[in-house]
Structure 1
Amino acid sequence: MRLLKVATCNLNQWAMDFDTNLRNIKESISKAKESGAVIRVGPELEITGYGCEDHFLEQDTVAHSWECLKNLLSGDWTDGILCSIGMPIIYQSVRYNCQVFCLNRRILMIRPKMCLANDGNYREFRWFSAWTLKDELVDFQLPNDVAEALSQESAPFGYGYIQFLDVAIAAETCEELFTSDAPRIALALNGVEVFTNASGSHHQLRKLNLRIDAIKSATLFCGGVYIYSNHQGCDGGRLYYDGCSCIAINGDVVAQGSQFSLKDIEVLTAQVDLDAIASYRGSISSFREQASHKSKLPFVKAPYKLCTSMNLQIFPTSPVKVKYHCPEEEIVFGPSCWLWDYLRRSGASGFLLPLSGGADSSSVAAIVGSMCQLVVKDIENGDEQVKADAIRIGQYKNGEYPTNSKEFANRIFYTVYMGTENSSDATRSRAKKLADEIGSWHLDVPIDSVISALLSLFQTITGKRPRYKVDGGSNAENLGLQNIQARVRMVLAFMLASLMPWVHNKSGFFLVLGSSNVDEALRGYLTKYDCSSADINPIGSVSKQDLRAFLRWAAIHLSYTSLKEIEEAPPTAELEPIRPDYNQLDEVDMGMTYEELSAYGRLRKIFRCGPVSMFQNLCHRWCGRLTPTEVGEKVKHFFKYYSINRHKMTVLTPSYHAESYSPEDNRFDLRQFLYNSRWPFQFRKIDELARDLQTKQQALPPPVPPTPEDESTNGSGMGVVAAGAANPSAGL
């Protein structure tokens, strides 16, 4: 029996922070060696961090990567262990995303990425080229200083594998796991038994199962060992890389790392039986037949043995049950970890949140409370890095450190209820109760005097004073009065965030948190530069439906019982006067429900529908509930306001990315922000189709509405009704 001890890791790298990244790489290698592993796999572009973006175009970034690799290979880090190191490399004036295989202070092979991720959040073709030569390894001349330090002038570069005396090893990189013509297929048919995958894969709700299924399938059909490594943490942008590194053999997962963690370094290992791979492949007649006449691939000979023989103390690692988090857990743990990374790396001393007592801001408050719970828990478990960061951020003295999440929250988290004459006692009470449960430093600040001063100034300038619609004012007056309140809150929030630490004799500043959800952004149901404008927003890509489910979950599992009452309350902005016969409600203001918004968002982004195809899909979806004409009016209403408000996405607060239909303009959803909001051609086509369908429908017997059991739905309750789904591979 040939036994091989392998290791993979989750690393919390930070784009362009070479010192931190190199330190994490070294520590992960040390931990792998201590465990007895002879192969260590790290994440994609681990030396630079994955999220460098246009920094990859700078010559400095590549040069610093070589300096870090030289530092690594000049010591004893790679002695006795094969290490896969991710970094950018320039070959013949072309920049490639590479894995560098190192052993015993030498570079054995450099494997450039062949399939680049280039949709959704990914723009790899902007910075890198794909390696296209599939039948040869070329000779790569190492930089002079590296060559002198290693006494090695060149290294094989390209597509192929490394043939050791007892095992064959090859690489895939992130996106290549999901491609239809994956490199591992030809490599497996050439006898490669062990595959490494260095990945930079971000978190998105309900997507981990696709990644795990792909990893299991990678070895289920062709056999072999698959060693998957991933980033974990906030690399410097909107994405949270959710770790979950794992090791699989012959279709079974034998090791799985955490998906959400505050740890900078997490190493997991497994003992795999390579003879089991040979037996598995030999039992598949089609594999034997295809392998017998497969064209040969280039390889590098490595005169080393990596395997050990079986004895009573060493035996193969058994399969494990894969752990998946429910969406509610993903909503709290992903943003909590992202916020902690952002806080400790930004130099800020805490967070400030305008807390209205509504579902959105209360969700953000609960996420910060969860972050405080995670910090205290990790300190209790002995994580010295988390402890050191918490002492610095909380400004503890005399050997003190956080031992209670509410006490820690009181030091680093301000919540502010900014009420007006339009605010209700119910929301004020809910905000105070939740703040007490979390432990935040809570302020109740009436802002009517500030609003009145602005209106008096306006009256002095114009001689007129605007009125609310319920008091006889026009739509313009009503909207203007609402926006004044919202924008005053933004100004006050930033003032308090910068000055409250000074008031409490603390150094530093607080980051302002936003709380607009993805559906409100999609509809544009927010005031530009109001309190939705903040430093960062942990729920900006989470739907209202998911947030309400999260609130119900958090009321129990986070012990914030007031969230149940908050979830049950109807969503309202409380920007208009409350009257016995009138109460402002979000869904009435928007002219659509949050459930409908979610459906529009998925069809628009995931299924790539324009107005007409969205109308056709929803006619099918809502058949029996709405007539074609009613569906058409709803679709036109959505596209009208989506278009009018699209400009708001250009200044949307940077948001944690969690949902595949995010309208966030700067990175994820690249569409123009100036539209003809009348959509004359498309809306005319909808009207024509609606009239035609209405005529045909009237000639038919009434349809039987589908039962819930008849509908195939996804996690958001919307049936898959469009032809063709989104590409699941990018960023999984």
Structure 2
Amino acid sequence: MENKTYSPKYDFINVAAACPVTNVCDIKFNVDNIKISILDALKENVKFIVFPELSVTSYSCGDLFLNGSFLSKAMDGIENICLFSKDKDILIAVGAPLIFKDSLYNAAFIIYEGKILGIVPKSFVPNYSEFYEKRWFSEGLHIKNEEVNLNFQKNIPFGVDLIFNSYPFNFGIEVCEDLWVTIPPSSYLSLKGANIIANLSASNEIVSKASYRKDLVKSQSGRCVCGYVYSSAGVFESSSDLLFSGHLLIGENGSILKENERFERKGNIIVSSIDVDKLIKERIKNTSFKDNERNISFHVREIEFSFKNLDFKMNRSIEKHPFVPHNINARNDRCKEIFNIQSSALAKRMIHTGLKKAVLGISGGLDSTLALLVIVKTFDLLNINRENIIAITMPGFGTTDRTYNNAINLCKKLGTDLREVNIVTSCLQHFKDINHDPNIHDITYENVQARERTQILMDVANKEGGIVIGTGDLSELALGWCTYNGDQMSMYSVNSSIPKTLVKFLVRYVSDEEVEEEISNILIDILDTPVSPELLPKDKEGKIVQKTEDIVGPYELHDFFLYYFSKGFSPEKILYLGEIAFEGVYGTETIHKWLQLFIKRFFTQQFKRTAMPDGPKVGSISLSPRGDWRMPSDASFNSFLGF
């Protein structure tokens, strides 16, 4: 994919975690390889690069850290890196030992354009199991509001209270063990505004430690709502007692964006783009995040600097289907969890009402199929006979043999109570009653059918003592692609927070994992059927004429728009991300066209969501007016167009 550049207003930044080749105690060798990594990072438009703990000297120097000449040469190495960085628009975090007031500190030096902006000591120095750092280093936890003078630079801010700020990018620093303690320094730094945390580390390898380390980075980036850049010492450290793997990780708000292959025997660097705009919006939304700040008395010094050039090259993938995990194993796990959430939520509603019957309209389409599968699982869970599931097929003017037969066969194989109510005659009568020409296939023609079906379901539920289960999904609610007081209404809606792109995967998951082969074959054919409300007459060959995506656009685009719009992204940024995600699938003009339609429909159809029935939230996004989305029904979309 060709990388695109764009205005810095979208607030992405490229960061790198690097593990250069080292030679224990060979400062010149180490510094030369640090320079190579910096040059490699600059080729990728990186603005912030993080090196391992004590990377100038190497971590495993032992009692040589107590040698004055060696420590002096380490400062020469830092000066060398500063001189090298003078004309380079990149923030560098590199590790070296530092003498301060007759104590030695394991420190991170933050360098930009030839100058040390600040020095951060390691807060927590481990002295247990294989670690004995207190033999050489003092804890830096108490170091605040201090300054350091070196031969080549005076009055350098020194302490754990530093945040490095080039708006809107705010960098906080911690060192190795700091991440592993009960309350890491990054927690305080994040509450004070740091949105990107660097960890300079030397974490050795033992069995299973890598997965725990990865979980730490993932969870801390989520807890702090930040980007997290982690760099650990590599295989060329001393192996006298320990082995280091050069584990590199870049996390963002609870997920891992990039990870390297450990145990590389050459210089290694990983690069990813951090979306600081998204992090800021998430912090604004998550009021509990800022509430924590009131409970701490941690004060920071902001060290300001300015990147000179914010040209950007995207260095992360943008998923076309943000609601669907890319990894197939993760996808199956997600589908299983969602299916269990849906069925457990419905089980609670059934127990609360005391009702033993469920009523739904079954069309042979994806949404009603998923709803039926959820009901079946729920009834099995509650030991209620499946014959108490009243599945009603209601063929109308546009019903095709394919969907009709799939609905009939599926219900028979699942053992439900299957009923058929043809709505053609009652709709023709209604057209007559309201003086509507049945040859005019307008919105009235369509909605009469939808409301007739809902009336049947509601009345059967009253007659049988059951509950009407809605089948509409999140994508339809976002677009308002439902008939008000028709299929928009039910007594409980199990699919209300499932986007259309995810509905397909859920049905496929059930087909693969939860049912026998004959049922699976029916589900596969349903998956292959075009999405349609089947409200307009079929063609001469009996096939579907009214294809939803021909009218409102591709659901995969609308789900993409919904995901990012609900996160607070501007239409301009959504368009930009869409160009990257759907490159080679849809052009800019097509994405722009459907994005404008999405915005207009999302605003004008809010009144339907305001009156939507109860239903479980299953993912990060829901449009329930009682939960995630509160919006006036008469809000104007004008401020969101014109992009």
TM range (shorter): 0.3 to 0.5
Give me the TM-score of the superposition, normalised by structure 1. 0.42
Give me the TM-score of the superposition, normalised by structure 2. 0.47
Larger Rg: 2
